[in-house]
Copies of this chain bind each other. A is one copy, B any other.
Amino acid sequence: MAEHIITFAGAPVPVHVATGTLVSEAAQLAGIDLQQPCGGQGRCGRCAVQVTAGDVRRRSTLRLSPDDVAAGYALACQSVIEGDVSITIPPQAGIERRLTTDRTAIEVTVPLGYSAAAQPMRRVTLTLSPPDTQDQTDDWSRLQTALRQQTGIGAFGISLPLLRRIGPILRAQNWAVTALIETDTWDRPTGAARIVDLWPGIIPDAAPLWGIAVDIGTTTVSLWLVDLLTGVVRAQVAEYNGQISRGEDVISRIIYSTKKSPLPNPLPGGEGALELRDLVLKTINTLLVTACKRVMADPASVVKATVAGNSTMIHLLLGIPCESIRLTPFVTTVNQTPVLPAAMVGLNIHPEASVDCLPGVASYVGADISAGVLSSGLDDAEAVTLFMDVGTNGEIVLGNREWLVTCACSAGPAFEGAGVQHGMRATEGAIEEIWINSDTYEPTYRVIGSAPGARARGVCGSGLIALLAELFLTGIIDRSGHFNLKLPTTRVRQGEHGDEYVIVWAAESQTGSDIVITRVDIDNLLRAKAAIYAGFSVLAEKVGMPLEMAEQVLIGGSFGKYINVEKAVEIGLLPDMPWDRFKFLGNTAARGAYLALLDRAARARITDIASRMTYIELTADNSFYDEFISALFLPHTDLSRFPTVQAALKKV
């Protein structure tokens, strides 16, 4: 057998190994301690190295992109030496960054060929001829005539508060003024325009004109501050929805909203509704101030807002009772709200700015999904595409430019850490990724937090998916989620709440007590993933095509942003498809709201999308329950649906 010379950058001498030796074994010979948290199964990608001369045979490139491979990257535990090679071991931070980059959302870019004229807000500078006794036209007609001449638009609306101010404004700079006009709004016929504000003197085009795109998630509110003249997103800020303290999921919020109180209340539907409205307004208005500070903008100079969010969030924002969303037959009060002035909504932007809450489809498929579909491009795709947004709820859309079907899975917030004993949201101290060594059953994990060696407090959504997959692939739990108590490890044990696995011992945890995952936790996670997968199945069945025929899977939402697809497939949360069919789009709802803010055509497309989507009510669907029960196993009762998982299990 031939011997090969392996040179590790930074190592004092090369090592000599036989053909067929793993790179990880060669590194060990060279005295290099490569991280292999998954136990050398090629699952974690943490042992990636870069081959700088010669080549290796890669048995698996899981967790490596084609670009990575082209750049010489290989997984040390999965790569076989068949010739002389030089190898560089990247700093661990570099690997982490690369792994993380793989999973981040696509960047926000200004749409190609963006024109400020495509969005309805325009500033028009005017120099009016002053009145005299030969021309005593009233101020408002005079202003309209000048606007008509400049824009070609026939008629303008105006609000009473602005009408009260125009006289002095027109005269302040000798009849030179700058008007802000909105050339159309979405509840008026085409061509209708209104004057939003008027300033004395000529304001140069260079002065910015701001808009905001807001996505109100049940958990997180995102706000993008956009320069409407260039289309550039100048600030992106996000914060927990202030309503969280009144309930983690939409159902709890709806129940809270009906809370009555003897206090005077300007809203119908309970004092709780008023409180929830104030809480989310406070969140948005705080984000607004933060975003504006970054670019030294005055919040009052924000002249337009688009808002995405699930139907409950939109109802609560506008103070519209939402109790019917929770009660059978689950209907909203309104899917397409009128465009409203900001002052009426309570946003601290320009009081007469239009607030356009984007249209939703149904109680559990809201504007966030309509906007998400737009930003995913699904509605214009040739290929049959599966779009999912797993946040606090799970919504799925299947379709292409010809047809769209959608449903909502009552997945519950298990993947956001609720209903799981040591579950938590993805904040400092949360375990976000985990590997279990298949020989020792010892875990390696990554904790969210800047400090090296930061201690864990709990496990967030992506960590729970990874944990479930690792427990399953290492045989710690079986296909139905039962623990194997016979394994040679003290980490699997009978606890207070039944069988459990100890992820972090008390001595190493931030809380000072063991961090565990219990049988009950696992059941909750299985129900959540089963609901989502059953949703996929029902949609595919409705349109009479196998799920695997979906040519791409687009994943949006804050949860999707951090999801580990490989592990999500292993537990049967996502369908078993080639890796390259999955794309992570990040906050598709906010991006859809951003596109609607920039472009009338995009805004019109969202309305079109909302009306095109056929909503399937799963609670009324006969096949859903069967699909759900079948999906309660790992990865599924029908293993043939998950061929790569089946293969991996055989290998283990």
Cβ-defined contact, B160 with A324, below 8 A = no
Which B residues are CB-close (under 8 A) to A268?
A: 164-165, 168
Nearest-neighbour CB distance to chain B for A351, whole angstroms, equals 12
A192 to chain B, nearest CB (A): 7
A333 contact set on B, CB distance < 8 A: 138-140, 163, 166-167
Q: Which residues of the partner chain B approach A140 to less than 8 Å between Cβ atoms?
A: 333-336
Stretch among A418-426, A444-452, A614-622 lining the B interface? A614-622
Contact check, A334 vs B157: say whether CB atoms are below 8 A apart. no
- Beta-carbon contact of B334 and A160 below 8 Å: no
Contact B321 A164, beta carbon cutoff 8 Å: yes
CB <8 Å contact, B331 and A131: yes
Contact B319 A164 (CB under 8 A): yes
Complex Cα distance, B621 from A134, in Å, reads 10
Does residue A330 face the partner (Cβ distance < 8 Å to B)? yes
Beta-carbon contact of A318 and B164 below 8 Å: yes
Q: Which of A135, A160, A168: most chain B CB closer than 10 A?
A: A160
**What's the nearest-Cβ distance from chain B to residue A622, in Å?**
12
Residues of B within 8 Å of A617, CB to CB, are 133, 136
In the complex the two chains form, is A332's CB within 8 Å of B620's CB?
no
A141, CB-defined interface residue at 8 Å: yes
Interface flag for A338 (CB, 8 Å): yes
- In the complex, which of the residues B323, B344, B615 contacts A136, with contact meaning CB atoms closer than 8 Å? B615
Instruction: Decide if A324 touches B133 in the complex (CB within 8 Å).
Output: no
Q: Which of A110-137 contact B (CB under 8 A)?
A: 131-137
Whether B328 contacts A138 by the Cβ 8 Å rule is no
A337 contacts the other chain (Cβ, under 8 Å)?
yes
Closest Cβ of chain B to A155, distance in Å, is 8
A 154-207 contacts with B by CB, 8 A = 157-160, 163-168, 171, 187, 189, 192
Flag if A131 contacts B329 (CB, 8 Å).
yes
Nearest residue, chain B, Cβ from A191:
B189
CB-nearest residue of chain B relative to A137? B331
Which residue of B has the minimal Cβ distance to A187?
B157
A452 smallest CB distance to B (angstroms)? 51
Binary per-residue interface labels of chain A (331-350) against chain B in the complex, 1 for a CB within 8 Å, 0 otherwise: 11111111010001000000
When chains A and B are docked, how far (Å) is the Cα of A344 from the Cα of B328? 38
CA distance A323 to B171 in the complex (A): 12
A72 interfacial contact with B, CB 8 Å: no
Q: Which residues of the other chain, B, contact A324 by a CB distance below 8 angstroms?
A: 139, 167, 171
- The count of residues in chain A whose C-beta lies closer than 8 Å to any C-beta of chain B is 53
Known: A268-B168, A321-B167, A344-B160. A134 touches B332 (CB 8 A): no
- Which one of B269, B329, B362 contacts A164 once the chains associate, using CB atoms below 8 Å? B269
Q: Are B164 and A267 in contact (CB under 8 A)?
A: yes
For window 13-28 of A, CB contacts with B under 8 Å fall at: none
Cα–Cα, bound, A167→B338 (Å): 16
Q: Is there a chain B Cβ closer than 8 Å to A363's Cβ?
A: yes
Please tell me if the beta carbons of B619 and A334 are within 8 angstroms of each other in the complex. Answer: no
Cα–Cα, bound, A446→B48 (Å): 113
A320 in the interface, Cβ–Cβ < 8 Å? yes
Nearest CB to that of A311 among chain B residues?
B138
Q: Are A138 and B321 in contact (CB under 8 A)?
A: no
Check A332–B189 contact: CB distance below 8 A: no
A321 CB contacts on chain B under 8 angstroms = 164, 167-168
Interface residues of A in 578-600 (CB under 8 A from B): none
- CA distance in complex: A164, B333 (Å): 8
Residues of B within 8 A of A336 (CB): 138, 140-141
A599 CB to closest chain B CB (Å) equals 23
Residue of B nearest to A167 (CB): B333
Q: How far is the CB of A329 from chain B (nearest CB, A)?
A: 5
Least Cβ–Cβ distance between A318 and chain B, in angstroms: 6
A366 smallest CB distance to B (angstroms): 11
In the bound complex, residues from chain B placing their C-beta under 8 Å from that of A340 are: 160
Chain A stretch 431-452: residues in CB contact (< 8 A) with chain B: none
Contacts of A319 in B (CB 8 A): 160, 164
Complex CA distance for A172 and B318, rounded to whole angstroms: 22
Q: Closest CB-CB distance, A596 to chain B, in whole Å?
A: 20
Against B, the Cβ 8 Å flags (1 = close, 0 = not) of A358-376 are 0000110000000000000
Asked whether A133 and B167 contact (CB < 8 A) given A139-B333, A141-B336, A160-B318, the answer is: no
A142: nearest chain-B partner, CB-CB: B331
Most buried by B among A166, A323, A329, A334: A334
Interface residue ranges of A259-277 to B (CB < 8 Å)? 267-269
Annotate A70-105 by CB proximity to B: 1 below 8 A, 0 otherwise: 000000000000000000000000000000000000
- How far apart sit A319 and B162, CA to CA, in the bound complex (Å)? 11
Min CB distance A43 to B, Å, is 42
Q: Which of B131, B329, B331, B338 contacts A160 (CB 8 A)?
A: B338
Q: How far is the CA of A72 from the CA of B189 in the complex (A)?
A: 66
Q: Once the chains bind, are B189 and A189 in contact (CB under 8 Å)?
A: yes
User: Given the known A-B contacts A163-B320, A164-B318, A268-B164, are A334 and B138 also in contact in the complex, defined by CB atoms under 8 Å?
Assistant: yes
Expressed in whole angstroms, the minimum distance between the Cβ of A360 and any Cβ of chain B is 8
Residue of B nearest to A194 (CB): B338
Report the bound CA distance from A137 to B136 in whole Å: 53
Give, as a whole number of angstroms, the nearest-CB distance from A296 to chain B. 28
A630 vs B537: C-alpha distance when bound (angstroms)? 97
Q: Please determine whether A138 and B329 come into contact, CB atoms closer than 8 angstroms.
A: no
Cβ B338 vs Cβ A158 within 8 A: yes
**Contact: A133 with B620, CB < 8 Å?**
yes
Smallest CB-CB A-B distances: 4 pairs: A133-B620, A140-B334, A138-B332, A138-B335
- A and B contact pairs by CB, cutoff 8 A, 15 listed: A131-B331, A133-B329, A136-B363, A138-B336, A139-B332, A140-B333, A141-B335, A157-B187, A160-B338, A163-B318, A163-B333, A165-B268, A166-B333, A167-B323, A168-B268
